[in-house]
Structures are given as structure tokens and as C-alpha cells.
Amino acid sequence: MNDKNDKSDGKNRFGKGKGKGNGVFGKSGVPGKPGKPGKFGKPFEKAGERSGKAGQMGKKAPFGKRADAPWRKDVPQREPADDVCWGRQPVLDLVRTAPGRCTKLVIANNVRPPFLDEVVDAARAGKIVYQMVAPEALDGLCPGVRHQGVACRVTEAKMVELGSFLKGLPPDGPALVVVLDHIEDPHNLGAIVRSAEAAGVVAVAYPKRRSALPGGTVMKVSAGAALRVPMIPVVNVARTVEELKEAGFWTVGLDNGAKTSLWEESAGLQARMALVIGAEDEGLSRLVGETCDQLLRIPIRGGVGSLNASVAGALGMFEWSKNHAKTQE
């Protein structure tokens, strides 16, 4: 109802004339009533049914996407290059323990003490070139990850041959070697190496082909353990299992279809043992499984069917460690 002092002749401040409108952005009159669009908007519509490109055919926009943003595209997530190590703890461990592998250290200029002092002192002690840069430069070097204001370029790790490693290993006492049968996800590889160090594993062997390699992602996920645990690249996993058997190691493969459980006393995990972990989707390859001395399964409940490779590997490693931790120390 118009006020008698109102000289707008029925016009509201958002519309252009009399009549029924939405009362907010259309023609005035009775609030909430449909009408022609006013100067500042359109009649209210249901979500996903607006007249943009995504909704003009009467289809609702997919959940989680804006119907009025047709320019948005799904851009694949990039990751840092394999020769980049990032994150405060992994970079600090690298600079302290293997300065020869760090070719250049990059620090964001918004990093503050005490970490700044620690990493700069370590870089100077290791004679590593470092540079202070804008945070945006690190965003470009480490896309899609939380670099925590520091990263470094690294050279390839010095390869350790299986034969020379076994010769340098003490002939007595417990020792666990982990053998990976084509683990392809670097996050899984990093998690396995991290668990391996915590469980007292003496080395991790991985295939050179069709496998994740110990790059920057592995160093980050392993919290620097990939710098401390000997990483042994091999050509043939089945042949590697044979070599370990010849060197006196009892070889155990984790297989979901095995009859004996890892928890049973009959499992009999030996003091000198090689634990073989299969790939994420396929598990142990047929030839590798046939080459192992023993196959064990991890009993699980529910409908998941199997465990993540890094989780299964951690359970196997710590089951061995539980039995041989005292003699290992």
C-alpha cells in the first residue's frame, strides 16, 4: 500500500512501475509475488534452474558445481617434479643427512625463526646454495601441495646393489628386508618406507620398472625415512627373492588367499626374513608368490576384501618386530 506522501506513483526503489512483483528486485507492489524483472534482477528461481548455459535447457546443475559458471573446467591436479623435495622436516633431514644430494635450497621469505635459523645453519654447514624467494615462487615449484615455505632440488640417490648390500650385512642376528612387487603409488611407497624405518627394516627393495620411485613425494610421505633406509632397485622381483633365499633369508609373501594367518603361531616368522608386499590392485604376481617360502594372510572382517598395501606391509613388519625386537637391539 503506497504512502500518501509517496510521489513515486507506485514505483518502488528497485522497480519501474506499479503492479505485482517480487518485492525485492522486481516490480513492487506485493512482496513475494511473481512478476516481470525489474532493473536490478529477475524473479526468484529454483537453484540450478537459472538461465545460464548450465541451466538454460531446464536441467539442474550437478551437485557441487555452479550452474552460472560455464567457464569453469576440471583442471588436472599437478604435482611437484620427482627431483623436488618439500616440507620442513623432509628438507631439514635431507640437508642434514645428505647435503651432497641437495643442489639448491629455496626458502620463502615469510619463513621465520626458529626453523629459518635451523635450515640456514644446516645449509651453510653442508655448503648448500640457498635462496630466499617470494612464496608464489614456491607455489610454482611445488604445485598442489603444502610446501611449508621450503623446498630443494635433489639429485638421484646413489644406487645400492643387492649383492654388495648382502655382503656388508652382518651374518648373524635378526634382519628384515622388505621386497615390493610393483607398488605404483608413491604415497604407498613413502608410507611403507616410513613404517620400515620404525620397525627396524634393514633395506627396501623395489623394481626399477612399473613401480613408484623414491622421489620428492616419497621423501615427503616417508618423513625423510627414504634418505636413511637403504633403497635397493632391482630388475626382477622373483629373482631378487631367490637371491635372498640363497643368502639365508626366509621369504614370506603377504597373500589374501593364503591358508595360514599372520597371527598364528605356526606362521613362525624367522629372525632373518624377507617380507614381500604385492601391488595395490593385483597383489603378489603368480611367479613371485610361487617363489616365496611361505604365504601368509592378514585376517580381516567386513566387506572391504583387502587392505591397503602400505597398511598390510606395516602389519607384517611390526609382527616380525614384535617377535625379534629384543634380539635386534
- Can you tell me the distance from the alpha carbon of 210 to that of 183, in angstroms, rounded to the nearest whole number? 8
**Residues β-bridged to residue 106:** 131, 151
Q: What is the pLDDT of residue 1?
A: 47
Q: Would you list the domain boundaries of the chain? A: 11-37, 84-154, 162-328
State the average pLDDT for the chain: 79
pLDDT tens for 284-309 read: 999 999 999 999 999 988 888 788 99
CATH number of 162-328: 3.40.1280.10
Q: Are strands 203-207 and 175-180 parallel, antiparallel or unpaired?
A: parallel
Mean pLDDT of 85-110: 88
Topology match between the domains 84-154 and 162-328: no
**pLDDT exceeds 70 at position 69:** no
Lowest mean pLDDT among 169-173, 242-246, 303-307: 303-307
156 C-beta neighbours (distance < 10 Å), count: 11
**pLDDT exceeds 60 at position 281:** yes
Instruction: Give the global pTM.
Output: 0.67
Q: What is the pLDDT of residue 233?
A: 92
Contacts of 97 (CB under 8 A, 6+ apart): 224, 227, 228
Q: pLDDT band at 329, cuts 50/70/90?
A: low
Q: pLDDT band at 55, cuts 50/70/90?
A: very low
**Residues β-bridged to residue 206:** 233
What's the chain's Rg over C-alpha atoms?
31
Residue with cell 616368522: 269
Is the pLDDT higher at 110 or at 227?
A: 110
CATH number of 84-154: 3.30.1330.30
- Can you tell me the distance from the alpha carbon of 241 to that of 254, in angstroms, rounded to the nearest whole number? 13
141 C-beta neighbours (distance < 10 Å), count: 18
Grid cell, residue 225, equals 625415512
Given a contact cutoff of 8 angstroms between Cβ atoms, the answer to whether 262 and 307 are in contact is no
Angle between the 309-328 and 186-199 helix axes, to the nearest 10 degrees? 20
Given a contact cutoff of 8 angstroms between Cβ atoms, the answer to whether 262 and 236 are in contact is no
pLDDT tens for 203-228 read: 999 998 888 888 778 888 888 888 88
Residue 167, CB-side half-sphere exposure with 13 Å CA sphere: 5
Q: What is the pLDDT of residue 78?
A: 66
Q: pLDDT band at 66, cuts 50/70/90?
A: very low
Q: What is the pLDDT of residue 276?
A: 96
Q: What is the pLDDT of residue 215?
A: 79
Residue 279 three-state SS:
strand
Helices (H), the chain: 88-97, 115-125, 135-141, 162-168, 186-199, 216-221, 237-246, 286-291, 309-328
Q: What is the pLDDT of residue 228?
A: 85
**pLDDT exceeds 80 at position 74:** no
Mean pLDDT of 178-207: 93
